[in-house]
Chains A and B, each alone.
Chain A
Amino acid sequence: MPKRTDIQSVMVIGSGPIVIGQACEFDYSGTQACRVLRAEGFRVILVNSNPATIMTDPEFADATYVEPITPDMVEKIIAKERPDALLPTLGGQTALNTAIALHEAGVLAKYDVELIGADVDAIQAGENRELFKGIVAKVARERGLNADSARSFVCHTLDECLTAAGELGYPLVVRPSFTMGGVGSGFAHDEEGLRRIAGAGLDASPTTEVLLEESILGWKEYELEVMRDKADNVVIVCSIENIDPMGVHTGDSVTVAPALTLTDREYQNMRDVAIAVIREVGVDTGGCNIQFAVDPATGRMVVIEMNPRVSRSSALASKATGFPIAKIAAKLAIGYTLDEIPNDITKETPASFEPSLDYIVVKVPRFAFDKFPGADQTLTTHMKSVGEAMAIGRSFPEALQKALRSLEKKGAVFTWAGEPGDKDDLLRACRTPHDSRLFTMQQAIRAGATPAELFEATAVDPWFLDQLYAIDEVAAELRQAPQLTAEVLTKVKRHGFSDLQIAELRDMTEPRVRDLRHALGVRPVYNTVDTCAAEFAARTPYLYSTYDEETEVPYGERPKVLILGSGPNRIGQGIEFDYACVHASFELSAAGYETVMVNCNPETVSTDYDTSDRLYFEPLTLEDVLEVVHAEQQTGPVAGVIVQLGGQTPLGLAQALKDAGVPIVGTSPESIHLAEERGAFGRVLAEAGLPAPKHGTAVTVDEALAIAGEIGYPVLVRPSYVLGGAGMAIVYDDETLTTYMSKAGAASDHPVLVDKFLDEAVEIDVDALFDGEELYLGGVMEHIEEAGIHSGDSACSLPPMTLGSHDIKRIRTATEEIARGVGVRGLLNVQYAMSANILYVLEANPRASRTVPFVSKATAVPLAKAAARVMMGATVAELRAEGMLPAEGDGGTMPLDAPIAVKEAVLPFNRFRGVDTVLGPEMRSTGEVMGIDQFFGTAYAKSQAAAYGSLPTGGRAFVSVANRDKRAMIFPVKALADLGFEILATEGTAEVLRRNGVHAKIVRKQSDGTGPEGEPTIGRRILDGEVDLIVNTPFGSPGQAGPRLDGYEIRTAAVLRGIPCITTVQGLAAAVQGIQAIVRGDIGVRSLQEHAERLRGRASAVAGEE
């Protein structure tokens, strides 16, 4: 059944901003889908509000709408573009929910849009737990399969929940319907817990529905990735086993592929059930996954749930097997059957097969609890990790240890240094699932825990536990070996130990271990991920290292460029860096190089085997990268290694790589040091005559106090060498500074930087390109929030709303001075603060920044591609001549009627209940969205709608601001009142408002408690849903009682209820403009291609005038 010819255009919906539970795996799947559809000749219309994605690059679709993914905005796009079909299964739950909403609202019928790759009834059946249970029971009954569901009750009220709990007993599981990533779900151990969790769950569910279920805590957990075509051919792409048993969300579990502890009978039963269920559910075509739990004592198998769409696990399964699920799902949606699609890897065999693995894949989650003090760090059915790393090895120990070091996280990698601690304490810690539990288990083994004890504490399958013991035994052998022979080293390496671990165990240095290992000829080989366990020859070089027999690296004809990726997603280093790496790869491949990608993040486009000419799925440590470089040098000339695009991870390796003789292209490691090291950078600035805020560097408390005394409070303190503002704080007094220093001193060996904090400054972010001679100003972004809020968390606008051409000229000059002074070749990001008309330089980063994709989209210039070329020696002039960069002008000379793009950060507070939502100098956002329109107000409104749901256009607004903000808030609050909002305020704020002619009703603060007449506090009123908009700027020091705590309660209530909460007065002003724009009702949609057309037309007109 070949491709359908009755449809010509297809709309694809993306997944929006990166949030916990829905990350860049959907960029990977959406990008694959767009590529397939375009290659097949369809007109592709894409909607995604996330500018950091590859899929929203204008070249991946015919019409790319960076607009909010809300049903009404998507309807506007449908009305304008009139697509024949809508493919909603590749953009996560967001896309699926939007498509269902459009279907239910009759929009799809109205515009005659066919849903492809999905069936509404099937989606309902798959996602409605009661219906789904019925399906499981039916297939088990009719086909005689061993399949069951956990006993459960569907409840719509708290009372129903309590009745159900009487039947099921505690503990029990609460699962809200139609939420993603397990939002709102959890274990209730008693009635109080049930009230809390089920209450929130009912709120979180769009259908006010939760499922209460018998506890299957501690059972083995599995997942199958299934593909089905319209001819009803079904294949299982991959089985995945969770090492963490039931009770921990799959996204937070350490998982392994293929499943390792099932007999064939059990596996085939699971396979039969999966296939029977998806047939019964009626999944149209494409990928879906289905999860199982197995009672380790009896083998009773329970079907947990299925997702009738491509999921996070699909991305993992694709990378784990080489079977590109999203790409094939897109082909199936347009009419092909599995047997008509060739297997990309072998080229000769078809996609209608089940991959066979001759290696083991381990995925480990990466958490960011350090960013959210106060958050509950226990792992539950509610996903909390922000990223993941995957590793491949020829044995489980090898893959596991590679995966752990891929995390680049302290305390993740197994260690035998120091004392392990008390066995009983460690076993107790193991009982509760937590970040790095495997590490705790390894320490428990060191402390003498037996397999039985460890099993009792964790319920982790004894086979996996034994593998941990095997690793421990090999460590002991290594420690006791009289000599490091090739034999000893080979065995240790086959168990995944790094040179660093070996050095620690042998009390040597890492370079010494490496030299010895190389001298003994113990080096990894590179095997191919070939989908077929070597049964057929692989044509695609997708490689992983292992200490095995034969290497399979093909010889390369063209000069090779290695691009080091950014590793697991974390806050501060995410998809934006992958974007830059992927762009470099595309561009350099087109420019005649053989591109070689090195990365370990399975969610990304960069680790798609057809993004680069070669892919190494490897940890980004010095050892692993050096071995890849060596392997590549054996098979052809290596022109250079790019470290500038993957964020801090590769940048941190630059000097060591260069010292090892690896050719680094672009900005040299010495230049990187010039920008990163405070003293050196200070000299660069001094030479250029550029001011920086007064600052000093302190190691001790006294030094810090002395510096603060000299430069005056407030001061901004932070450890040197960090990304994402980790450990940054604004400090207003000696006492807080003393506390900070004692903590920081303990946490790091690096000195602490103490800067004068510029209150009320405008912060400016610049991305630029420098070739040694000419500067291309990519874009100038003005932060909406004032300085002090991390640039990653701050909304910003491009072009800057309030800077004039004179300011931009100063910024251009300063940026050029810095680029020259540092010696940049490629990208440079500079952060400035404009205060009292003085332009201060806050910091410069000689690398791709988080804002590169945003700038590229807002200005219609492929900045990362241009940067890659500059790094390889092209000049800005050449790129202008080529047409890659505009012939004239740059991001600093945007025409006055250029569209305004607003970037807004998306914060994960709904995942971390109890964490203060106030923004600060430490970055906490997981993702971003872009709103683009002709005017700032509409662009801002779009950014808010995309990030948090639409701004309210009426109702009650609660205002409570710090004294310093009282003057500035009068005008915007008055505007709100004029728009018809009823204004509620705390006493002090209300007074100021009333004196300025704004009627404000006084409400009780949290600390006032409920009034004598039962008047509720503001917190209560927010929780009761009586407030539609909250404006609360924080004051007082964190952690204290009083006003700061009041604000905390308010903001927490806002998060619980999902009410927009504005924490800066600048944000309020922007919101008012946005609300006005919505009220005017003139929010339209325009594709990036149309914006670019206008920009180009305008730019040439401007150039003509000059």
Chain B
Amino acid sequence: MLVLEDGRVFHGIPYGAEGETFGEMVFNTGMTGYQETLTDPSYHRQIVAMTAPHIGNTGVNDEDPESSRVWVSGYVVREPARVSSNWRANRSLDDYLRAQGVVGIAIAGTRALTRHLRERGAMRAGVFSGTALAPVEELLERVRRSPAMEGADLAEAVSTAEPYVVPAIGAKRFTVAAVDLGIKAMTPHRMAERGCEVHVLPASSTAEDILALAPDGVFFSNGPGDPATADGPVEALRGVLDSGTPFFGICFGNQIFGRALGLGTYKLRYGHRGVNQPVQDRRTGKVEISAHNHGFAVQAPLEGSFDTPYGPAEVSHVNLNDDCVEGLRLLDRPAFSVQYHPEAAAGPHDSAGLFDGFCALMESARGRVSVTMSAEAARGHGAGEEPGADTEGSKGA
């Protein structure tokens, strides 16, 4: 049984592990990429409903996870696959969820649920099956007692405990310090492909910890929770910005950047979770179809530049669906961030050029070549630019 905090109840069939689970109820509109979604740390403490009806068709393989475990707290689907069909699959999604202890449910009304969340906003929910079942009132009570997403500080919970290094693929060009606020495996991989040696650091890292590596650039990752609580990372980032080290942030990292610039953040009614969001680069006018997973956003003036403690800044990217801020950039310093996912796993690769933009910034800051961060470098070159990992992955075993 799926129980929402406002009392709406959906009945269904248990899927994955049995038991009970709580989290913020959100929906994801991606039609592919359930394995990446499940293992994305940003979904920590969220129950994810898939709007695509058939889930699990291609089973689970060892190459596509974005982290070492499933992070969603619960999983809601309509039609779980009965067989897995893919040459890379080595087990079924059902078995995988069971093994990872993820409580899920198959309900007919995933669309009704989505419409409900769209109208009422994301809210707390619980999934209950087996021995956890009880009268609805009691389950509802349990849901209402569970913690809310607003005010939740979750980055440390999902972050790596110890620093680790992702070596550069090919010749090393840069050292990047990447603060793991819930980082996805594809992100350091995208940088490594471009010659970055990526030092992944715990969320609790301070500016000193970060700068001690003498990195060419600093990266703040995506991650779960309310950015308003992330005072530690904001402090750390301010230190990084003060140092003049090039900075790039994704998703939660964008919100941290916003806060470091003195901007506020707010919770979207039901967030952006999917792989089909149109984001426009304000400088070039080009539209990227991008992967999103965020329930919070930065508040910033859309038109023109605004002042920050680090000089003038501007909103670099905007979501064309709802005019939500999707990217920020300092005009006089080498720092920028986006709210969406250029590493795109799952999702389209239209925005992969942003990693090239980051490399160009590091190159320029090092003074080897005099390049200012041009719009060209920052906007990327769209799909088809994706070398390396994907190709190898798809060719896989």
**Bound Cα distance A958, B115 (Å):** 70
Contact flags (1/0) for A343-371 with B, using CB distance below 8 Å?
A: 00000111011111111100000000000
Given A356-B29, A395-B78, A533-B52, A262-B387 contact (CB < 8 Å): no
**Complex contacts, A549 vs chain B, CB 8 Å:** 10, 108-109, 111-112
**8 Å CB interface, A253-288 against B:** 258, 260-269, 271-273, 275-276, 279
A462 within 8 A of B: yes
Roughly how many angstroms separate A168 CA and B79 CA in the complex, as a whole number?
A: 43
State whether the Cβ of A338 lies closer than 8 Å to any Cβ in chain B. Answer: yes
A534 near B111: Cβ-Cβ < 8 Å: yes
CB distance from A296 to the nearest CB of B (A): 7
Q: Is B36 an interface residue (CB 8 A)?
A: yes
B111 with A358: CB separation less than 8 A: yes
Q: Mark B63-101, 1 if CB is under 8 A from A, else 0.
A: 110000000000000110111111110000000000000
Is B383 touching A234 in the complex (CB atoms < 8 A)? yes
The answer to whether A395 and B289 touch (CB under 8 A), given A269-B390, A356-B30, A466-B82, is no
Is A297 an interface residue when CB atoms closer than 8 A count as contact?
A: yes
Is A394 in contact with B108, judged by CB distance below 8 angstroms? yes
Known A143-B384, A349-B320; contact A357-B86, beta-carbon cutoff 8 A: no
CB distance from B15 to the nearest CB of A (A): 15
| Chain B stretch 331-362: residues in CB contact (< 8 A) with chain A | 344-349
> Chain B residues near A537 (CB, 8 Å)?
118
Q: Tell me the complex Cα distance, A537–B270, Å.
A: 13
Question: How far in angstroms is the closest Cβ of chain A from B313?
Answer: 24
- A536–B276 alpha-carbon span in the complex (Å): 13
Query: Is the CB of A697 closer than 8 A to any CB of chain B?
Result: no
Pairwise interchain contact B395-A299, C-beta atoms closer than 8 A: yes
| A146-B395, A549-B10 given; 14 more Cβ-contact pairs under 8 Å | A143-B385, A264-B346, A268-B386, A272-B349, A272-B390, A297-B87, A298-B87, A339-B280, A349-B278, A354-B348, A356-B276, A463-B83, A533-B27, A548-B108
Measured in the bound complex, the distance between the Cα atoms of B128 and A527 in whole Å is 27
Q: Does A276 lie within 8 Å of B384, measured CB to CB? A: yes
A470 within 8 A of B: yes
Q: How far is it, in angstroms, between the C-alpha of A818 and the C-alpha of B141 when the chains are bound?
A: 74
Given contacts A262-B58, A548-B109, A550-B112, contact A299 B384 (CB under 8 A): no
Q: Looking at A236, A261, A265, A533, which has the most chain B CB atoms within 10 Å of its CB? A: A265
CB pair A271 B321 closer than 8 Å: no
Interface of B is mostly: loop
How many angstroms between the C-alpha atoms of A357 and B274 in the bound complex? 12
Q: A145-B391, A353-B276 are in contact. Are A260 and B320 (CB under 8 A)?
A: no
Verify B32–A143 contact, CB threshold 8 A.
no
Please tell me if the beta carbons of B110 and A358 are within 8 angstroms of each other in the complex. Answer: yes
Contact A272–B384 (Cβ < 8 Å) = yes
Return the CB mask of B104-143 against A: 1 if under 8 Å, else 0: 0000111110110010000000000000000000000000
17 A-B residue pairs with Cβ-Cβ distance under 8 Å, sorted by A, are A146-B394, A231-B285, A258-B31, A263-B33, A264-B33, A264-B346, A264-B347, A273-B384, A275-B383, A279-B384, A349-B320, A354-B275, A358-B29, A462-B83, A533-B29, A533-B52, A548-B111
Q: Which 9 A-B pairs have the closest CB atoms?
A: A264-B33, A549-B109, A276-B384, A144-B387, A264-B346, A533-B51, A549-B112, A463-B85, A264-B32
Asked if B111 contacts A145 (CB within 8 A), the reply is no
Please measure, in the bound complex, the distance between the C-alpha atom of A350 and the C-alpha atom of B274, giving whole angstroms.
Answer: 16
Partner of A272, one of B79, B276, B285, B383: B383
Decide yes or no whether B388 CB sits under 8 A from chain A.
yes
User: A548–B112 contact, CB under 8 A?
Assistant: yes
Closest B residue by C-beta to A239: B31
Is B286 part of the binding interface, using a Cβ–Cβ cutoff of 8 Å? yes
B264 at the interface (CB under 8 A from A): no
In the complex, what residues of A have CB within 8 A of residue B382's CB?
A: 232, 234, 275
Is B396 interfacial (CB-CB < 8 Å)? yes
B57 at the interface (CB under 8 A from A): yes
Q: Are A535 and B118 in contact (CB under 8 A)?
A: yes
Residue numbers of A with Cβ under 8 A of B are 139, 143-146, 231-236, 239, 258, 260-269, 271-273, 275-276, 279, 296-301, 337-339, 348-350, 352-360, 394-396, 451, 461-463, 466, 470, 494, 527, 532-537, 547-550
**A466 — which chain B residues lie within 8 A by C-beta?**
81-83, 85
The reply to whether A394 and B274 contact each other, CB–CB distance below 8 Å, is no
B54 CB contact (under 8 Å) in A260, A265, A276: A260
Residues of B within 8 A of A (CB): 10, 27, 29-33, 35-36, 51-54, 57-58, 61, 63-64, 78-79, 81-88, 108-112, 114-115, 118, 274-278, 280, 285-287, 289, 320-322, 344-349, 382-388, 390-391, 393-396
On whether A353 and B289 interact (CB within 8 A), knowing A265-B64, A536-B118, the answer reads: yes
Residue of B64, B86, B344 ringed by the most chain A CB atoms within 10 A: B86
> Which residues from chain A contact B278 at a C-beta distance below 8 Å?
339, 349-350, 352-353
> Is B391's CB under 8 angstroms from A144's CB?
yes
**Nearest CB of chain A from residue B307's CB, rounded to whole Å:** 29
The complex places the Cα of A801 from the Cα of B51 at a distance, in Å, of 62
Shortest CB-to-CB span from A1007 to chain B, Å, is: 56
Q: Chain B contacts of A533 at CB under 8 A?
A: 27, 29, 51-52, 111, 114, 274
- Assembled-state Cα–Cα distance A451/B85 (Å): 12
- Cα-based distance from A451 to B84 in the complex (angstroms): 13
| Interface contact A338-B287, CB-CB below 8 Å | yes
Chain B residues with CB under 8 Å of A338's CB are 287
Rounded to whole angstroms, the CA-CA distance of A574 and B108 in the bound complex is: 37
The smallest beta-carbon distance between A595 and chain B, in angstroms, is: 26
> Given the interface contacts A269-B390, A533-B52, does A261 sit within 8 Å of B58 by beta carbon?
yes
- Residue among B35, B111, B320, B386 facing the most chain A CB atoms (10 A cut-off): B111
Instruction: Give the CA-CA distance A83 to B84 in the complex, in Å.
Output: 56
**Chain A residues near B111 (CB, 8 Å)?**
358, 394, 527, 533-534, 548-550
Q: Give chain A residues whose Cβ lies under 8 Å from the Cβ of B394.
A: 146, 265-266, 269, 299, 301
Rounded to whole Å, the gap between the CB of A262 and the closest CB of chain B is 6
Q: Which of B32, B86, B277, B349 has most A Cβ within 10 Å? A: B32
Q: Is the CB of B52 within 8 A of A357?
A: yes
Cα A239 to Cα B276 with chains together (Å): 13
| Partner among A139, A260, A494 whose Cβ is within 8 Å of the Cβ of B384 | A139
Within the assembled complex, what's the spacing in Å between the Cα atoms of A357 and B275?
12
Measured in the bound complex, the distance between the Cα atoms of B57 and A461 in whole Å is 11
- Which residue in A233, A260, A548 is a CB contact (below 8 Å) of B286? A233
Instruction: Provide the bound-state CA to CA distance between A235 and B85, in Å.
Output: 27
Q: Please name the residue on chain B nearest to A1 by beta carbon.
A: B285
Tell whether, in the assembled complex, residue B274 and residue A262 are in contact, meaning their CB atoms are under 8 Å apart.
no
Q: Provide the residues of chain A in CB contact with B286, threshold 8 Å.
A: 231-233
The residue of chain A having its C-beta at the shortest distance from the C-beta of B79 within the complex is A395
Nearest residue in A to B346 (C-beta to C-beta)? A264
Least Cβ–Cβ distance between A747 and chain B, in angstroms: 39
Q: Could you say which residues of chain A place their CB within 8 Å of the CB of B87?
A: 296-299
Separation of A494 and B53 alpha carbons in the complex (Å): 12
Give B2 Cβ to nearest chain A Cβ, in Å: 12
Contacting pair A145 B33 (CB below 8 A): no
Residue of A nearest to B388 (CB): A144
Query: Could you tell me the distance in whole angstroms from the C-beta of A778 to the nearest C-beta in chain B?
Result: 46
**Contact B51 A262, beta carbon cutoff 8 Å:** no
A875 to B285 Cα, complex, angstroms? 56
Complex contact B114–A358 (CB within 8 A): yes
State whether A144 and B386 are in contact (beta carbons under 8 Å apart), knowing that A353-B321, A395-B78 are contacts in the complex: yes
When C-beta atoms are compared, the residue in chain A nearest to B59 turns out to be A263
Contacts of A352 in B (CB 8 A): 278, 280, 287, 289, 320
The CB with the most chain A CB atoms within 10 A, among B35, B275, B347, B384, is that of: B384
Chain B: CB-nearest residue to A455: B85
In the complex, are the beta carbons of A267 and B32 less than 8 A apart? yes
Residues of A within 8 A of B383 (CB): 234, 271-272, 275-276
A268→B344 contact, CB < 8 A: yes
Contact B384 A261 (CB under 8 A): no
Would you give the shortest CB distance from B262 to chain A, in whole angstroms?
30
Complex Cα gap A266–B87 (Å)? 11
A139 to B381, CA, bound (A): 14
Tell me whether B348 and A268 are in contact (CB under 8 A): yes
